[in-house]
Amino acid sequence: MLNRRNFVGLTAAAVAAPSILTSRALAADWPVKPVRIVVPFTPGGSTDITARLVGNRLQEVWGQSVVIENKPGAGGNIAADMVAHSDADGYTIFIAGPGMATNQFLYPSLTYDSVADFAPVTMLITQPNLMCVPNSSPAKSVQEFIAYCNANRGKVTYASSGNGTTLHLSGELFKRLAKVEMTHIPYRGGAPAINDLIPGRVDVIFDNMPSILQHARGGQVRALAVTTKERVSVVPEIPTIAESGVPGFDVFSWFGFFVPIKTPPDVVAKINADTNAALVHPAVKTRFEELGANPKGSTRAELARFLKSEIDKWGPVIQEARIRVEN
């Protein structure tokens, strides 16, 4: 298992600098060539949607191409390893989520350290997940789905976009709190998972709202509940899992930008400032809100603190449930 670093190291990673004068000189002209945003999942999922929405705006601001590069596999570890060992010049940005906090507990060994190898840049969005079933499912509520699980013990499956994602952890938490049996089916992204949910090849998904909401609104799947403790303004008619008879259920997803640890701090600061401005741009902000996501933005230190809180939150849960994934 990867050793966790203390908070002092985490915060320092957000502001460490090889040379203030050198980094300022780099940031003054940066970027002078295309920038790539590495997405750890397949196209079409929530991570990919977020990267493209923000990337399109950054491309307009920077006057340079922002290329979205999808590198799915191993719950995001393939992409994370690639970015961690990329040139620390700001031209490779990693869009990451809960896996940055959870994978160190899920996998027996990793080739990167989410704290020691990455500099936090900024939080992007937070979002609820949406519990959905195929239209062919007999369940029209959370309680009916629980009854379906109890009547079909050992046969019910839930899909996720990969091991360690909030889709996966939502399913595990639901199993524990609702006291039901479900088998986890991990995919290499949210889009292929939804493609199998629609025809009923899997029984349920707890998917990120931006990627599943259009399918629920279009009548391709049936939405049963949101995963957060409070209802979501964009779909106020959909109840929470907690109010549907599973008290204590509260899960949300998040995405942030990270870069290799030795990236000059002034370049990191420029990416931070331009990304935060992009998140409040009317076209970007409105689109995220339509998808049920909350554009957040943050300082580098705030993202560092948040990552630490996620590590502290999910580590004991994963260890207590003895969830392990083989490399």
pLDDT for position 327: 61
Q: Is the pLDDT of residue 72 over 50?
A: yes
Eight-class DSSP state of 218: T
Give the mean pLDDT of the chain. 91
Q: What is the pLDDT of residues 235-250, one digit of tens each?
A: 999 999 999 999 999 9
Instruction: Label residue 256 by pLDDT band (50, 70, 90).
Output: very high
Domain pair 7-126+253-321 / 128-226, same fold = yes
pTM of the model: 0.81
- Each domain of the chain, given as residue ranges in start order, spans 7-126+253-321, 128-226
Q: What CATH architecture is 7-126+253-321?
A: 3-Layer(aba) Sandwich (3.40)
Share of the chain above pLDDT 70, in %: 91
Q: What is residue 24's predicted lDDT score, i.e. its pLDDT?
A: 56
Spatial distance between the Cα atoms of 209 and 212, rounded to a whole number of angstroms: 5
Residue 211, pLDDT above cutoff 50? yes
At 323 the pLDDT is 82
CB neighbours (10 Å) of residue 153? Answer: 10
Tell me yes or no: is domain 128-226 CATH 2.70.98.10. no
156-172 pLDDT, tens digit per residue, is 999 998 877 889 989 98
pLDDT computed for residue 13 by the predictor: 46
Arithmetic mean of pLDDT, 74-102: 96
pLDDT digits (tens, 9 = 90+) for 286-305: 999 999 899 999 999 999 99
pLDDT digits (tens, 9 = 90+) for 259-278: 999 999 999 999 999 999 99
Residue with the larger pLDDT of the pair 190 and 25: 190
Contact assessment for residue 163 and residue 106, using Cβ atoms and an 8 Å cutoff: yes
Mean local confidence (pLDDT), 200-228: 96
pLDDT class of 26 with cuts at 50, 70, 90? low
pLDDT the model gives residue 188: 87
Residue 156's φ and ψ, nearest 5 degrees, are: -85, 135
Nearest CA among 26, 90, 11, 105 for reference residue 58: 90
